Amino acid sequence: MSRNEDVKNFLTRRRAAVDPAGYGFTAAGRRVKGLRREEVAQLAAVSVSWYTWLEQGRSISISHGALQRIAQVLKLTPVEQDYLEDIVFGHRNVPKEATRQLPAEVTAMVDVLNPHPAFIRTANMDILYWNEAAKKQIFDWSSVAKEERNSLKLMFMNAEYRNIIHDWDSAARHTISAFRSNYAAAKHAEEFEAVISVLNEQSADFRRMWNYHDVSKIGAGNKAIIDKNGHINRFTYTSFEIENLPGVFVLFYLKTEAAPPSAI
């Protein structure tokens, strides 16, 4: 899917989600939900034709100020606003392509986090390395082919992985939304597009959720894994990008009896 199509689909969905009454517009006589294009243009102080062209995904001259006003009108979250800027202007930062050669000190750090699960993942959700606790308490990535060691592929295409995820539907939507944010910000999109292509072809669930156009980021949150005995093990997690390895993240899990998971 092209960036222009992403702009079109994202803006259309977010516009439909805004209650016109919140801006003093009547809901009577509307054929579709949400704000009309001309109402967004009026509130954002841009011309109707310009906003229409933007929403249609045309290549037009766009200022940050105009895009920020549109984001405010559509009540976008900070993460959604970053995503909109990424798909309109391209990546905000230009990271080097994520390397698959991990320094020994990085893998050693993950190992010494035992007995707590930890693993290394790229922005496009490829799993590069994991410690013994992650293998035992989360998933044994060595049990699948190297090209299938991707969180998104596993979530939609691997029955064993899907079955260990508590509240799979919510977790899958969040994983897709984080993947979409990373994809919009990426300079090297090929690795993302390869994942999208496979999942579009093989998973109806992915196609349905991808079209929601949700965006979020994976920073910290909660996760629940169903073990072999059917018990739900709950974790809090945090992730951080490795310095000098842009696009490569360490994810650390701490077992807890906290609230149910909101993300994966």
CATH number at residue 143: 3.30.450.180
Q: Assess whether 69 and 161 both reside in one domain.
A: no
pLDDT digits (tens, 9 = 90+) for 36-52: 999 999 999 999 999 99
pLDDT of residue 97: 45
Q: Assess whether 119 and 210 both reside in one domain.
A: yes
Q: Assess whether 116 and 206 both reside in one domain.
A: yes
Do the Cβ atoms of 86 and 184 come closer than 8 Å? yes
pLDDT of residue 264: 46
pLDDT of residue 86: 86
DSSP 3-state helix, strand, coil percentages of the chain (rounded to 5)?
Answer: 50, 15, 35
pLDDT digits (tens, 9 = 90+) for 153-185: 999 999 999 999 999 999 999 999 999 999 988
Q: Assess whether 154 and 180 both reside in one domain.
A: yes
Average predicted confidence (pLDDT) for the chain: 88
pLDDT tier at 259 (50, 70, 90 boundaries)? very low
Establish if 161 belongs to a structural domain: yes
Q: Report the predicted TM-score, pTM, of the whole model to 2 decimal places.
A: 0.71
CA 6 to chain centre: 14
Tokens of 106: 């990085």
CATH assignment at residue 19: 1.10.260.40
Quote the strand ranges of 56-184, DSSP E: 118-122, 127-130
Q: Is the pLDDT of residue 245 over 90?
A: no
Establish if 95 belongs to a structural domain: no
Q: Which residues pair with 237 in a beta bridge?
A: 221, 253
Q: Tell me which of 55, 89, 123 is where a domain ends.
A: 89
Spatial distance between the Cα atoms of 101 and 83, rounded to a whole number of angstroms:
29
Note down the domain range covering 66. 3-89
Do the Cβ atoms of 27 and 35 come closer than 8 Å? no
Establish if 162 belongs to a structural domain: yes
Tokens of 25: 């517009």
Establish if 263 belongs to a structural domain: no
Establish if 132 belongs to a structural domain: yes
Number of domains within the chain:
2
Q: Assess whether 34 and 140 both reside in one domain.
A: no
Establish if 96 belongs to a structural domain: no
pLDDT of residue 28: 77
pLDDT digits (tens, 9 = 90+) for 95-105: 444 446 799 99
Residue type, 135: K
Spatial distance between the Cα atoms of 235 and 165, rounded to a whole number of angstroms:
12
